[in-house]
A and B are shown apart, each in its own frame.
Chain A
């Protein structure tokens, strides 16, 4: 049998944990700064407005179309290519006293002047009120997800591990959002779905490591917490690489072949899976160690003494 990682002993992952966690902290802070200053490029789903997607029979000059869209009804329209040079996307803002139907009509009329065979492929209109609600709901969803997970992991494992996993998840969400903010990628509903999937996936990874940590604490009676964690990460490394690999393969396939409508979704997943895999080691496990996880915490509940859930003074 051939093995991607053929390891006899265990790799000392945690040796680099301190410097790497500084890198994580920088990433998180950087993301937060970008989110605060540049903000997120919210898509139609959240801002409201109208989007018209059309396909021309030949490639068209966007500049010409743009300069034709100067009527007050459609002023400020954003015109861009979408997938190919023949596919064009026009974004229009909600304007007081203007019907989206009329805006669409003007845009299509101008497009038809350029190319009589232009086909209207998609029209989406979202009221600003709906968008706002959606953004609130989306944020709430991520929060609820994190809380549910905190409860589940606390219940199944131990609060230090739960805190570690939630910190790792928050880390993943913030960094992924940060990249969307820095690159000003459009954040629409599918990206939100992608983000929640990242939460699920990253947790998946963390749980696998934690499961091993719990098992090893009970098996390796003499190991220090660091040794146990290092051992657990090493033992699950093969699996982590393979599963991350196969998932990445399918997400890359989605990114390349899935079409422009789910590009945002695939991007969020790509980022999230990479960040999530790394954070399950350097954020989740490391934090649990720093919180003072040890063998006693992993003992079956029956023998748990009073105060066992308090941080231990002994390392």
Chain B
């Protein structure tokens, strides 16, 4: 019999729409004011923390709506913004500086909905306010660091093998290793190659100058860049956590860039300072044999370098780095017995081993702590990238009293410097400096305004379209309108279900546009049915043919639109991606509701019955 859906198909339609509707539900509940507690290094958020916090808040007379402990973070919901502020202060006071306490807005989704994975759509920064940074990693600096490490490697490898070399230097061409004669060169080349140094060696000797050039291989260069980017992302993620921002985003973009999004942040200056700072420390031995006065006049001994002390005065340090900041696992600011600021440092196992060996061999000798920081110089390179200024200062020189292990202290800083250094060291050093190449700050009021505008546009568009369809297609118009509403609910449902999908202002525009375009499927079908009726077909035949003939047109038309949305998604960034996502989802759901959804209703109403006239 024509126009009858089998039961399973009807059930499927109802089920799909019901699931879409169910997952769209959480968007109706709004948000709770909440306080979020995250442990920084060396601390844990446990059930004990939770009960302590609850007790402290209750003592202050603050009512707790709900308190959840999940993934090592505590979220306490309170009734209003006023309670939220008091609660934050109370909790921060109670827990101390090992925890980050941040204000947050948590979705007020009921627990039963949440337990089945229901959560509202995530809003983009343009809808809730915050800062968006696009950062670029200075790869030339990362490469320079690796080359310097290679130089040290070459020196020790050649020495180990007792191959005499005249000098190893970094030049614009690469690393040049000088030898006395061609024979040692080829011997060294064979040996260095056999050690798998990831370098391409070539003999560039000319006349008396016997030089072996080592250049990084393409693959190695790529690997260095990749590692530099990944390590910087990890470091920035740690720093963002230290900033105490709720739900931050740190993502890579392309080969050299990192996106950082901090919802709700307005103090961009502080955020930039922490995110972009590339402070790190290195430990060097002081070159005691060097003549400081001569060095200050430009005669620095080979293998050493002249630095300035923070408090003034030159000091000559050996170039070789005893230990870098990479091995530091913990750093806390404190005061020594004379109440001078200091930073207590903990090293990882490998760092501890290195440090223990170094200090054992050098008891009684002076060791310097070199503080390195890259700052935005305010100038730009001709290509538009930011010029970074490298600042190196010796912050302390101390005589090694005894063999040091994994714990020791650094002194010689001011109070605020010790605070900042501890924070930066805890969060890890950036392997290469980063600069901000794009920054967008959206005020919270603008975010709210954007949502309001978007909703207004959607409501107006929707009302007019629904009215038109109703007048023009009558009964079938009602069905199309039902499909349209179901479609919108499903878009919201799917957007809420997909973890990566974010609603942005252009995303709302995409939804509005979907409303306008989603009727296309129904219009194509209905016009087809009308044509068939005009051509004298019976009602049942007309419905059957109408749906059947329109199908390929709808599919072709939508697939091509989907293709363009896909391209938008692939090349677009941020807001444009948001638009592309909603458009793609909209196309998929509108095809379903327009073809299968309306058919189910039409079949249920008229299918298999004797109908003389259709209300279309």
Which residues of A does B touch, CB under 8 Å?
1-3, 48, 53, 55, 94, 96-102, 119-130, 132, 134, 137-138, 140-141, 144-145, 148-149, 152-153, 156, 189-190, 192-193, 196-197, 199-201, 203-204, 207-208, 211-212, 215, 235-236, 238-239, 242-243, 245-254, 256-259, 261-262, 265-266, 269
Contact = CB atoms under 8 A, between A and B. Distances in A.
Contacts of B221: none
Contacts of A204: 517, 520, 557-558, 560-561
B472 A242 contact: yes
A283 B473 CA distance: 31
6 contacts: A119-B443, A193-B572, A197-B513, A203-B560, A211-B553, A254-B513
B575 interface: yes
Nearest to B525: A239
B576 A197 contact: no
Contact of B505 (A2, A212, A261): A261
A125 B560 contact: no
B468 A249 contact: yes
A273 B155 CA distance: 68
B520 A207 contact: no
Interface string B173-212: 0000000000000000000000000000000000000000
A199 B441 contact: no
A124 B441 contact: yes
Given A1-B530, A203-B561, 18 more contacts: A94-B380, A96-B380, A121-B442, A123-B440, A129-B383, A134-B573, A140-B571, A190-B576, A200-B561, A208-B557, A242-B519, A243-B519, A246-B469, A246-B516, A250-B513, A251-B461, A254-B461, A258-B454
With a 10 A CB-CB cut-off, give which of B379, B564, B570 has the most chain A CB atoms.
B564
B14 interface: no
A126 B438 contact: yes
A261 B450 contact: yes
B556 interface: yes
A189 B576 contact: yes
Contact of A196 (B384, B457, B531, B564): B564
A248 B461 CA distance: 9
B81 interface: no
A271 to B, nearest CB: 15
A155 to B, nearest CB: 11
Contacts of A247: 513, 516-517, 520
B561 A257 contact: no
A246 B519 contact: yes
What class of interface size applies to chain B in its complex with A?
A: 35 or more
B437 A129 contact: yes
B451 to A, nearest CB: 10
A176 to B, nearest CB: 14
Contacts of B443: 119-122
Contacts of A238: 527, 530
Contact of A127 (B126, B384, B509, B575): B384
B520 A193 contact: no
With a 10 A CB-CB cut-off, give which of B506, B519, B530 has the most chain A CB atoms.
B506
Contact of A99 (B378, B385, B564): B378
A145 B516 contact: no
Contacts of A259: 449-450, 453-454, 505
B524 interface: yes
Nearest to B561: A200
Contact of A243 (B380, B454, B520): B520
Interface string B486-517: 00000000000000000001101100110111
Interface of B: 126, 134, 136, 268-269, 272, 376, 378-380, 383-386, 436-443, 445-446, 449-450, 453-454, 456-458, 460-462, 464-465, 468-469, 472, 474, 505-506, 508-509, 512-513, 515-517, 519-520, 523-524, 527, 530-531, 549, 552-553, 556-561, 563-565, 567-568, 570-573, 575-576, 579-580, 583, 616
Contact of B575 (A120, A122, A145, A190): A190
Contacts of B530: 1, 3, 238
B563 A122 contact: no
B4 to A, nearest CB: 25
Contacts of B568: 141, 193, 196-197
Given A97-B379, A145-B563, A189 B527 contact: no
With a 10 A CB-CB cut-off, give which of B384, B474, B509 has the most chain A CB atoms.
B509
A166 to B, nearest CB: 11
A130 B134 contact: yes
Given A137-B571, A204-B520, A258 B453 contact: yes
Contacts of B506: 190, 193, 262, 265
A197 B571 contact: no
Contacts of B513: 197, 247, 250-251, 254, 269
Contacts of A200: 560-561, 563-565, 583
Given A201-B561, A243-B520, A259-B449, A250 B468 contact: no
A132 B379 CA distance: 19
A267 to B, nearest CB: 12
B104 to A, nearest CB: 23
A257 B508 CA distance: 12
A81 to B, nearest CB: 16
A138 B579 contact: no
Contacts of B385: 127, 129
Contacts of A212: 553
A256 B565 CA distance: 24
B389 to A, nearest CB: 12
Nearest to A242: B523
B269 A101 contact: yes
B515 A250 contact: yes
Contacts of B576: 189-190, 192-193
B563 A149 contact: yes
Contacts of A53: 446
A161 to B, nearest CB: 11
Contacts of A207: 553, 556-557, 560
B563 to A, nearest CB: 5
A261 B597 CA distance: 35
B439 A97 contact: no
Contact of B559 (A119, A128, A152, A208): A152
Contacts of A253: 456-458, 460-461, 464, 512
A257 B456 contact: yes
Given A127-B438, A257-B457, A261-B505, A152 B516 contact: no
